Amino acid sequence: MPDPGEPVPALALPTVGLFLAALAVFVFSTWAALVERVPPLVTIAVNAAACFAMFTVAHDASHYSISRARWVNRLFGRLAMPFVSAVISFPSFGYIHIEHHRHSNDDENDPDTFANRGPWWQLPFRWAAMDLSYGVFYARNLSNRPKTEVAETGMLLLATVTGVIVAIGTGYFWMLAVVYLIPERIALMVLAWWFDWLPHHGLPFTQRENRYRATRARVGMEWLFMPMMLSQNYHLVHHLHPSIPFYRYLGTWRRNEQVYLERGAEISTVFGQRLEPEQYLEWKKLNRKLLRLLPVRMPKGSSAPYAVFHKLPVADVKRLTEDSVMISFDVPGELKQEFAFDHGQHLTVRTDLGGKDVRRNYSICSPSTEPQLRIAVKHIPGGAFSTFAMEQLKAGDILELMTPTGQFGTKLDPLAEKHYVAVVAGSGITPVLSIVATTLEIETESRFTLIYGNRTRESTMFRAELDELESRFADRLEILHVLSRDPLHTPALSGRVDRQKLERWLSTKLRPESVDEWFLCGPFELVTMTRCLLLEHGLDPGRVHLELFFGYSDGAASAREHTQAARVTFKLSGQERVVDLVPGDTILETALRVCNDAPYACMGGACGTCRARLLDGTVEMDHNFALGKDELDRGYVLTCQSHPTSATVTVDYDAD
């Protein structure tokens, strides 16, 4: 499968070097013009080249490709963008460019089709006015953009107009035109030609119809065109892997060439001759040696035969928001296979607080393709463990962790082409973050829409990580941040994730027939409301997956009298025990009387940690929010909710 290679670097030194070199050239050339050391034409040519190079810096910054630190990308993006356009701010450009990735070649929604459509004689004028067309596109979507972003763009536009007026009034307009206005316009014209027209013109497919044929790679004479076009001759690689820095495009193409060819990638020579995959292979035989490819490996789940606790040291405690932290664990080498996990699984954490045994269940927030084991804890007022995690827990402390359990995520297929949607709120993002990242990395043809409700931007858990994911998978991931207490937020996304908003999305961009799988996680009211709404629209319940962090009681269970006594046999950790159940107790409560290692967390039927297979007898469950139909059909029950309805019952906690 397509392999992007190394992750985004801590700092992309070639990109930083490109910025510094372009800045130095621009400053020196401008100084030479001001002191009349060189003729105007030389200054125009040199400064145009510098502006051209600055676009690659701003472009990589918009995809968070310069550094894993978000502020570094924002810094370089804002520093480089004025050299490219004086009327579009960097945040606005980032939004416009992501829309191009999401809707490439879509006449109605791709802002870059302005450079690819129209009579041939119009094209040079369109290329030179590319940022003005961006302004029109941005104005059409103004009501959907954050007010702070709009304000920044407005201030930049005002400053530009003011600067031009001052230059005219003081007699320096010609000098301003020589050192900036004309070079910037020439650079923009070349950029639109090389970055938009050459990769996209004449292609009938949109990004969502066929991402391998919505843009092209131009092969041949890499020694010349790679530095001259700053790698955009392999523009197809950029659209398939947007977070890769520009200087890694060729290496990525070489790693994945066979996979691209199998998918019918759009290829032409640098002179415009179109090549089918078979023709490309023949062309390649005449031009260079065959290159080796790297495979993509599917992650493996835990090797633990049954759920068991291990003591693990805390590697790091990082504050996410004012009321949440992310906890990373240092898993010893001999336990790494046991703590390997599937996307969407969770961990049971156990510790002693004030002499009391405390257990809590937390979803794993890291993708299963990464070795790092991480959970996120949101503070609950009065909550014993969440308060401890927020105020006292530190690196080096020891916690007991049960090997991963749960089955919220679905089985992935590298060849699948699906559309997934997740509806979450608050800390419900934790398992979904793992699901989104893992799915998009393994299923390279699938796409994801995430609806995420919070109070404010500041209270949004994993905001930075989600922004980076959306940039990395620009054409396959769309995140709708719904904020209830942010007066500056986009009006259409203000308020709560409610039935009205969901109905609107279900009738437009998220029509039920266009979505393969739904994931719901968050407050009980949101999850159940959304599930009921989806079922009302005719969805198969098997396509709607939900997870709750807390159990639920409607009073029925507590009012129900369970008078059935029974003899319970349970298998746990390879041992078999027999115990008499007291009428009214659950199977889990009975198991805990003789074995405190029996797995559990929420005790409310929500997490699935206490899952066991019913081998003999019959039971009745009070609630079930964790087991799907397939698991029920295979005989699994939640022991924290199960009461015997037969004289003998046998359950197996170790069953796979």
pLDDT at 289 over 50: no
The answer to whether residues 50 and 180 belong to one domain is yes
In one-letter notation, the amino acid at residue 267 is I
> Does residue 82 belong to any structural domain of this protein?
yes
Are 533 and 568 in the same domain? no
Domain presence at residue 624: yes
The CATH number linked to 527 is: 3.40.50.80
Distance, in Å, from the CA atom of 485 to the CA atom of 375, rounded to the nearest integer, reads: 26
Which residues neighbour 12 within 8 Å (Cβ) at sequence distance 6 or greater? 60, 65, 66, 67, 245, 247
The stretch 260-267 carries a mean pLDDT of: 94
pLDDT at res. 563: 63
In a domain, 430, yes or no: yes
pLDDT of the residue at 397: 95
Residue 218 has pLDDT above 80, yes or no: yes
* Domain match, 478 and 515 both: yes
- Across 70-80, average pLDDT: 96
Q: Does residue 616 surpass a pLDDT of 90? A: yes
Give tens-digit pLDDT for 337-350.
999 999 998 888 99
Segment 109-127 shows an average pLDDT of 92
In terms of domains, do 605 and 467 share one?
A: no
Which residues make Cβ contacts (< 8 Å) with residue 476, sequence separation at least 6? 211, 440, 446, 447, 448
Query: Measuring CA to CA, which residue among 627, 626, 609 is closest to residue 348?
Result: 609
**Which domain-ending residue is among 339, 368, 402?**
402
Token pair listed for 401: 């962790």
- Shared domain for 118 and 17, answered yes or no, is yes
Residue 88 domain flag: yes
Label the pairing between strands 447-454 and 566-572: unpaired
Are residues 373 and 449 both part of a single domain? no
What type of residue is 403?
T
Q: Virtual CA dihedral for 146, 147, 152, 153, nearest 10 degrees?
A: 80
The 10s digit of each residue's pLDDT in 135-160 is 999 999 998 899 999 999 999 999 99
**Whether 377 contacts 362, CB under 8 Å:** yes
Residues 161 and 124 in one domain: yes
* pLDDT at 361 (0 to 100): 85
Residue 14, phi then psi, degrees to nearest 5: -60, -35
Instruction: Let me know if residue 3 belongs to a domain.
Output: no
Q: What's the average model confidence in pLDDT over 5-20?
A: 92
Q: Which of 257-271, 409-423, 614-628 has the lowest mean pLDDT?
A: 614-628
Q: How many CB atoms lie under 10 A from the CB of residue 315?
A: 15
Residue-averaged pLDDT of the chain: 90
What is the band of 297 on the pLDDT scale with cuts at 50, 70, 90? low
Q: What is the pLDDT of residue 557?
A: 46
The burial class, CB within 10 Å (0-12 / 13-18 / 19+), for 158 is: exposed
Query: Which pair of structure tokens corresponds to residue 252?
Result: 């990525």
Write the CATH number for 357: 2.40.30.10
Of residues 307 and 397, the one with the higher pLDDT is 397
Terminal C-alpha separation, the chain? 29
pLDDT per residue as tens digits for the range 172-182: 999 999 999 99
Which of these ranges, 66-70, 286-290, 476-480, has the smallest mean pLDDT?
286-290
Query: What does the pLDDT average to over 540-560?
Result: 64
pLDDT the model gives residue 558: 45
Instruction: Compute the average pLDDT of residues 53-81.
Output: 96
* CATH number of the CATH domain containing 569: 3.10.20.30
Same domain, 178 and 35: yes
Residue 59 lies in a domain: yes
Q: Are residues 69 and 183 in the same domain?
A: yes
Report yes or no on 156 lying in a domain: yes
Structural domain boundaries enclosing 573: 560-652
**Residue 219 · residue 280 · CB < 8 Å:** yes
Does residue 292 belong to any structural domain of this protein?
no
Overall domain count for the chain: 4
Q: How confident is the model at residue 550 (pLDDT cuts 50, 70, 90)?
A: low
Q: What value does the mean pLDDT take over residues 186-211?
A: 94
Sorted by sequence, the CB contacts under 8 Å of residue 567 that are 6+ apart come out as: 578, 579, 580, 581, 647, 648, 649
Q: Which of 377, 402, 427 is the last residue of a domain?
A: 402
* Domain shared by 64 and 201, yes or no: yes
Measure the CA–CA gap between 207 and 226, rounded to whole angstroms.
24
What is residue 630's predicted lDDT score, i.e. its pLDDT? Answer: 79
Q: What are the tens digits of pLDDT across the range 409-450?
A: 888 988 788 999 999 999 999 999 999 999 998 888 899 999
Look at residue 387 in the predicted model and tell me its pLDDT: 94
Judge whether residue 51 has pLDDT over 80.
yes
Give the end of a domain, one of 344, 372, 402: 402
Question: Do 438 and 494 belong to one domain?
Answer: yes
pLDDT of residue 416: 87
Residue identified by tokens 């979450």 is 424
State the pLDDT at residue 198.
Answer: 94
Strands 419-425 and 447-454, bridge-based pairing: parallel
120-131 pLDDT, tens digit per residue, is: 899 999 999 999
Same domain, 542 and 564: no
